[in-house]
Amino acid sequence: MADQQTGKIKSIAGPLVIAKDIRGCEMYEVVRVGKEGLMGETIKLVEDLAYVQVYEDTTGLKPGEDVVRTGAPVSVELGPGIITNFYDGIQRPLVGIKNQVGDYITRGVNVPSLDPEKKWDFNPIVKKGDDLVEGDYIGEVQESKVILHKVMVPPGIKGKVVEIKSGSFTVNDIIAILDENGKKHELMMKQKWPVRIGRPLKEKLDPEVPLLTGQ
């Protein structure tokens, strides 16, 4: 049977919502629940049923309301602005929410984790023709007086630099293009990364000095 993008609420028990008729939903996929589009994560699948952990207050939800798939896992945005911001547990920016809806977090509020309009001064440290692999630095952003943000090639990406920009850009602007055997990779200052997947490491260093807490 074909996958279904929208299901219906079958039952509700506190933060746990069981959705029916949502075949094809994947484990840990983000779904939007109810009329207000509450954020939830699929934690169990049984045939065409999806057990959803809702990360907002479920008061007022009713059986029969829509549960909409997003096709993406719970992820965070990484880029300039993350260090100088305040977030809740699912990376919703508290200052941005206050500016939009006031002092209290409204259910279903959806504010970008990184300000899509703020411009940052990007200083490239690579040049056209350089060969890059994942994890290489392509430039720097002075995020604050003490934080120099390094912009990296995302995991799984490599290639030759065919375009690199300098100047003020938003986190959604293209600041570099890599060519991998004819395949173009457009790079921004931000990356989106699934929270349940560890970031790749080139080397893991063993600790040498213990942390003494006095307990």
Confidence of residue 2 (pLDDT cuts 50, 70, 90): low
Amino acid letter, 199: R
99, part of any domain? no
Which CATH number characterizes residue 126's domain?
Answer: 2.40.50.100
Domain contains 137 = yes
Query: Per the domain annotation, does 106 fall within a domain?
Result: no
Q: Tally the domains of the chain.
A: 2
Question: Is residue 12 domain-shared with residue 69, that is, in the same domain?
Answer: yes
Q: Which residue, 36, 34, 4, is CA-closest to 17?
A: 34
Query: Which amino acid belongs to residue 73?
Result: P
Q: Is residue 209 assigned to a domain?
A: no
The CATH code of the domain that includes 47 is 2.40.30.20
State the residue for tokens 């959604």. Answer: 172
Model confidence pLDDT, tens digit, residues 24-82 = 899 999 999 999 999 999 999 998 899 999 999 999 999 999 999 999 999 999 999 99
The verdict on 66 and 125 lying in the same domain is no
Q: Write out the E strands in 157-205.
A: 159-164, 167-169, 176-180, 183-187, 191-194
The answer as to whether 82 is a domain residue is no
pLDDT digits (tens, 9 = 90+) for 14-25: 999 999 999 889
pLDDT score for 84: 83
Range of the domain at 27: 7-73
Residue 211 within any structural domain of the chain: no
Q: Are 45 and 78 in contact (CB under 8 A)?
A: no
Q: pLDDT tens, 183-207?
A: 999 999 999 999 999 998 888 889 8
Residue indicated by tokens 């939007």? 32
Same domain, 67 and 129: no
Query: How far is CA 142 from each of CA 36, 121, 126, 167, 189, rounded to the nearest angstrom?
Result: 37, 7, 17, 12, 12
Residues near 21 by beta carbon (within 8 Å), at least 6 away in sequence: 4, 7, 8, 48
As a whole-number percent, the residues of the chain with pLDDT over 70 amount to 98
Residue 21 belongs to a domain: yes
Q: Is the pTM of this model over 0.75?
A: yes
Please indicate, yes or no, if residue 148 is contained in any of the structural domains.
Answer: yes
